[in-house]
Amino acid sequence: MKKAKDSYHHGNLAESLLDAVDEIASKFGLEAVTLRACAKLVGVSPSSAFRHYADKRALLTAFATRALNQLSESLDKANHQAGKENTDAFLAVGLAYIDFAITKPAFFRAMWREETIYTSDESYVEASNALSAHLQGGFAETIEDRDPTSLSTQELLVWSSVHGLANLFVEGPVGKGLSKKHKLQMAAKMINALKPAFFPADND
């Protein structure tokens, strides 16, 4: 990865440290992440890192916040693109969720790991609420939603399904050794199997 010391004077050190979290966590797990290790990876002194993040928990909170925001953006983009191309938005959003987990496993693991983050952090709460709003809002507006302020049975079904499969892929019990393409093909079959619960008219 590019050394952060080259961009530090432009105010990018905070983001570069989060990139370092991703690199370390992807290779060795979130437990291996420390501020000193991240500082060393990006080529700055530990004291520089501590100016941005008071401790490891603050660093991981920012990392989790970034993950939540990026997942929300991925779901929005998938829905928008499906609408633009007149393709299956329900499938697109479900695959976007699982693709995010496969592509960015460290981000996926960090999002709701409450024992390692400051859950009352304002930015984290805002990002968490924004993602929840997407998922409570008819699974990113792909299924009927009568109450966007609560999680319906249908929304819970699809969220738990895609999150569960994503977690199985990330942690290894399912799809171990398979390519990303193969995993997404498996995911597409599962998401399509859910459709009768949401679009019964399409199956008459």
Per-domain residue ranges of the chain: 1-53, 55-199
pLDDT tens readout for residues 49-70: 999 999 999 999 999 999 999 9
State yes or no: pLDDT of 165 exceeds 70: yes
Global pTM reads 0.89
Domain 55-199 - what CATH class?
mainly alpha
Q: Do domains 1-53 and 55-199 have the same CATH topology?
A: no
- Quote the Cα angle for 44-107-20, to 5°: 10
Instruction: Check residue 148 and give its pLDDT.
Output: 82
CATH for the stretch 1-53: 1.10.10
The chain-wide mean pLDDT, for the chain, equals 90
